[in-house]
Structure 1
């Protein structure tokens, strides 16, 4: 089977350009596309949730995938490497029309796969090195690493304000507004209320005889 694979990351993009490029390549090389796979989805989505992930599971030796560029396959270099390795192991060929790659169980593909793997390793090492250097520089400048002494999280900001929150709730002030008044996110407030069993209690007042009346 020969598959034409097209992916766009949003519905604002068009599949037409990719379809034209793959179709042109197929005509020039007298290749017949047996099945087109099109999807509008970000490559950051889990592979198993994409049509392409399902395609990988059913590929057979001798199958061919034609796409415009390798970046259409995965979200990063490591994922693309994994896909290429899967295809090479299962004797599936991947062809890209823009980059002119023809990756299968051949020496060129293995050399390219090695180069990709080496690049990924170098990239990881560079990121790690930059992180270590940045931390060392901050430390050398006498700055404390981690949360500054006296700094508080948003949840800690609410500590001791249970009665105040109850009062706002009794006045029927919305939780969104209470969160803004207290300078925290609404989800932080909701979590704090849940953990401290804070609920909107009835407002209590007194009548002329001094009797308590719940409203």
Structure 2
């Protein structure tokens, strides 16, 4: 992959509330040799869009390095951290977290990153396993699993009957559902009626 001859270090700092101070992070990033700092103030690490982070990610080029004071400044979720650092790596951009001493420009830093990726995968498989076990237990107890039905069986029959004499949009509005829901119900009923006994 092509690497820029003008590779630079860019720092990113974030605090969750307006009354928190960025000085500690800014000082550490400056000492680390960052040529420019991007910040977000009063924004959670779980937020989907962060102006400062979005700006630095657009600025980074192959050979550059993104530096943060601590991993949780970049994101709160292990899965998000791994995905973001992996995307940077695929673009030829290095990553450094000063507090955790993660530096993907060195083999030790890459080892730590791969351990994080393995932990993120393990966490995801545990969540999936717990979800499946919970659904199986709920089914065994006779509970409905999944999204709650929009209409009761009685309401379904009433709505389908009402569709014979009223526009589907009016019936949908009366039952507070989308017309698509009623069309799907009507289709299922027709399919059931035409199925061989």
TM-score when normalising by structure 1: 0.56
Question: How far is the alpha carbon of 1:138 from its aligned partner?
Answer: 3.4
Question: How far is the alpha carbon of 1:121 from its aligned partner?
Answer: 1.6
Residue 22 (structure 1) aligned with residue 23 (structure 2): no
**Structure 1 partner of 2:173:** 195
Q: Which structure 1 residue ranges, 4+ long, deviate > 6 Å from structure 2? A: none
Unaligned segments of structure 2, at least 5 residues: 1-7, 156-171, 175-197
1: CA distance, partners of 2:115 / 2:95? 17
For the structure 1 residues 89 and 152, does the alpha-carbon distance in structure 2 shift closer, same or farther, using more than 3 Å as the test?
Answer: closer
Residue 137 (structure 1) aligned with residue 119 (structure 2): no
Tell me which structure has the larger Cα radius of gyration. Answer: 1
Question: How far is the alpha carbon of 1:54 from its aligned partner?
Answer: 2.4
For the structure 1 residues 61 and 144, does the alpha-carbon distance in structure 2 shift closer, same or farther, using more than 3 Å as the test?
Answer: closer
1: CA distance, partners of 2:143 / 2:17? 43
**Structure 2 partner of 1:125:** 125
For the structure 1 residues 145 and 43, does the alpha-carbon distance in structure 2 shift closer, same or farther, using more than 3 Å as the test?
Answer: same
2: CA distance, partners of 1:74 / 1:54? 15
Question: How far is the alpha carbon of 1:109 from its aligned partner?
Answer: 3.9
Question: How far is the alpha carbon of 1:17 from its aligned partner?
Answer: 2.6
**Structure 2 partner of 1:10:** 17
Would the aligned equivalents of 2:82 and 2:120 in 1 still touch at CA under 8 Å? no
For the structure 1 residues 146 and 2, does the alpha-carbon distance in structure 2 shift closer, same or farther, using more than 3 Å as the test?
Answer: closer
TM-score when normalising by structure 2: 0.61
Question: How far is the alpha carbon of 1:99 from its aligned partner?
Answer: 0.8
The alignment partner of 1:55 has SS state of helix
> Cα RMSD (Å) of the superposition?
3.2
Q: Kindly provide the CA deviation profile for residues 132-179 of structure 1, in whole angstroms up to 9, marking residues without a partner as x.
A: 222333344x342349xxx979xx8xxxxxxxxxxxxxxxxxxxxxxx
**Structure 1 partner of 2:45:** 43
For the structure 1 residues 98 and 110, does the alpha-carbon distance in structure 2 shift closer, same or farther, using more than 3 Å as the test?
Answer: closer
1: CA distance, partners of 2:100 / 2:89? 18
For the structure 1 residues 98 and 113, does the alpha-carbon distance in structure 2 shift closer, same or farther, using more than 3 Å as the test?
Answer: closer
Question: How far is the alpha carbon of 1:13 from its aligned partner?
Answer: 1.9
User: Relative contact order (C-alpha < 8 Å, sep 6+): which is higher?
Assistant: 2
Q: How does 1:81-160 map to 2 (within 5 A)?
A: 81-104=82-105, 106-140=106-140, 142-146=141-145
